[in-house]
Amino acid sequence: MKDIHAEKKIAVLIDAENAQYSVLGAVLSELAKHGHIIVKKAYGDWSSTHLKNWKETLNELAINPVQQFSYTQGKNSSDAAMIIDAMDLLYSNKFDAFALVSSDSDFTKLASRLKESQIYVFGVGEQKTPLAFRNACDDFIHTEVLRAPELDESAEVAPAKLQPHSNGSKKSKRELCCDARLINILRNSVRDNADVEGWALLAVCGSLIKRQYPDFDARTYGYPTFTKLYEATELFDIEKRKSGSAKALDVYVKDKRA
């Protein structure tokens, strides 16, 4: 039986002809909260001028483009290729969840078939997505409510141009707090894992950040651990608690605004 709370191995399949490349970063960040994204594929006729703006986003997010020529003008031909790939991946028995990124009702049957095989199905699309497809998924995510973590407008940090951190020199509190992208990443990781009192296990926050941003490393800011980086901003409360009978202490973090 599928466990909706377990961390999942996720295959993300994108219908490029019925999706927006501008939201893909936010979509992948949202899905990373639920587990590890193993496969990322986007389907479309990449020779078409309609998809000419996708290249940079696909490269940045390491999404594998799958070419499918349109056999008939005005007809979406990538649906069949995406469905065939989905079934091949299903029979590999390597995945716990699929994310179908499309606003096309043609994937309703695919979502239902995956669920019949005890696979958790995320649907991702616009609010205009037909109700049948939305109801065929275990969880349907509307792209209108998503935004990339670095664009979170709730961050109360001074606006500043992002500075490179390639030399690994220790950044001051002011330098850290002026890096809007960094502060939002840290705050969002706490928000997404916090209990009712606002406390989150710091190890879990760090794991989420690494799934969302594989190249993120506290050492590039001059701090050896995530704990030291959170502490250096002085925007978070840090608390160490005994972990059962073990001698090791668990570190918890809380946004001071909470």
CA of 89: how far to CAs of 93, 120, 254, in Å? Answer: 7, 14, 40
- B/e letters for 18-29, b = 16+ CB within 10 Å, e = fewer, are bbebebbbbbbb
The tokens of 26 are what?
């936010």
> Which CATH code for domain 149-255?
3.30.420.610
Q: So what's the pLDDT on residue 169?
A: 78
44, 78 Cβ separation under 8 angstroms: yes
The dihedral of CA 46, 49, 52, 54: what is its sign? negative
Element containing residue 15 per DSSP (H, E): strand 8-15
Do 101 and 15 form a contact (C-beta atoms < 8 A)? yes
Q: What is the pTM of this model?
A: 0.75
Closest of 148, 181, 184 to residue 23, by C-alpha: 148
Q: Spell out the domain ranges in the chain.
A: 8-145, 149-255
Q: Is 49 helix (H, G, I), strand (E, B) or coil?
A: helix
Q: In 3D, which of 130, 125, 119, 133 has the Cα closest to residue 86? A: 119
**Hey, what are 137's tokens?**
């998924």
Radius of gyration of the chain measured on its C-alpha atoms = 20
pLDDT of residue 160: 40
Q: How many Å apart are CA 257 and CA 235, to the nearest integer?
A: 8
* CATH match of 8-145 with 3.40.190.10: no
CA distances from 176 to 182, 205, 220, 230 (A): 7, 18, 12, 10
pLDDT tens series, the chain, 258 aa? 455 556 899 999 999 999 999 999 999 999 998 999 999 999 999 988 889 999 999 999 999 999 987 765 545 668 889 999 999 999 999 999 999 999 989 999 999 999 999 999 999 999 899 999 999 999 999 888 886 554 444 444 444 444 444 455 789 999 999 999 999 999 999 999 999 999 999 999 999 999 888 888 898 899 999 999 999 999 999 999 887 666 778 999 999 987
Pairing assessment for the beta strands 64-67 and 199-201 based on DSSP bridges:
unpaired
Work out the angle at residue 30's Cα, subtended by the Cα atoms of residues 29 and 35, and round it to the nearest 5 degrees.
90
Cα–Cα distances in Å, from 138 out to 3, 36, 54, 91, 148?
Answer: 11, 18, 28, 20, 23
pLDDT of residue 214: 82
CA dist., res. 159 & res. 177, Å (int): 9
Closest C-alpha to 90, from 185, 10, 190, 3:
10
What pLDDT is attached to residue 110?
96
